[in-house]
């Protein structure tokens, strides 16, 4: 005779289920185990959809020092097109740049414009161009300071 795992009563040798308390004698035959087997893939999905992207989300401010900006071209007309080359010295790919152009005449602040490019992408340790379109720049503006205000890392 064997002993039931649950009620500790004697049951026939080799019985897979106790005739007294209905307990399964092998852990893998238990309906509880079968229901738990499906919670594992659920946790894996949860991890990839929610936890990992949260962990991978980076704040641009923490990496600001690892970017450099260089003005490469200007189209001189009534509308200014200012092109800048951004260098990414981080190990991550960034997207969706937001930037700010501060226009000055000498030390006098004339205007600030904000813009963003959603389709913009920069590879790890790569370079990428961004163009700011200034419609009707203020008269006498001689300095156009470009400043990145934000960008985002990829989800994965």
Q: Which residues bind to Zn ion, rule: CB under 5 A?
A: 4, 6-7, 18, 20-21, 23
Nearer residue to Zn ion within complex by CB, 18 or 97? 18
Contact 80, 71 (CB under 8 A): no
Nearer residue to Zn ion within complex by CB, 7 or 44? 7
Spatial distance between the Cα atoms of 11 and 16, rounded to a whole number of angstroms: 10
Q: How far is the CB of 36 from Zn ion (least distance, A)?
A: 21
Q: How far is the CB of 154 from Zn ion (least distance, A)?
A: 55
Nearer residue to Zn ion within complex by CB, 28 or 156? 28
Spatial distance between the Cα atoms of 52 and 18, rounded to a whole number of angstroms: 44
Q: How far is the CB of 34 from Zn ion (least distance, A)?
A: 20
Spatial distance between the Cα atoms of 59 and 150, rounded to a whole number of angstroms: 8
Spatial distance between the Cα atoms of 55 and 51, rounded to a whole number of angstroms: 6
């Amino acid at each position: 005779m064997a002993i039931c795992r649950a009620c500790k009563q004697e049951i026939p040798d080799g019985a897979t289920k106790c005739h007294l308390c209905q307990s399964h004698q092998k852990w893998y035959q238990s309906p509880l185990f079968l229901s738990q087997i499906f919670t594992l893939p659920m946790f894996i999905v949860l991890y990839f959809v929610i936890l990992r992207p949260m962990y991978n989300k980076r704040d641009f401010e923490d990496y600001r020092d690892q970017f450099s900006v260089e003005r490469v071209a200007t189209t001189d007309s009534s509308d200014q097109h200012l092109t800048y080359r951004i260098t990414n010295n981080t190990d991550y790919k960034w997207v969706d740049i937001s930037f700010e152009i501060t226009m000055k005449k000498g030390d006098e602040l004339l205007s600030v414009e904000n813009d963003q490019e959603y389709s913009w992408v920069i590879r790890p340790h790569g370079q990428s161009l961004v163009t700011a379109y200034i419609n009707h720049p203020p008269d006498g503006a001689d300095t156009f300071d470009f400043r990145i205000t934000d960008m985002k890392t990829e989800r994965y």
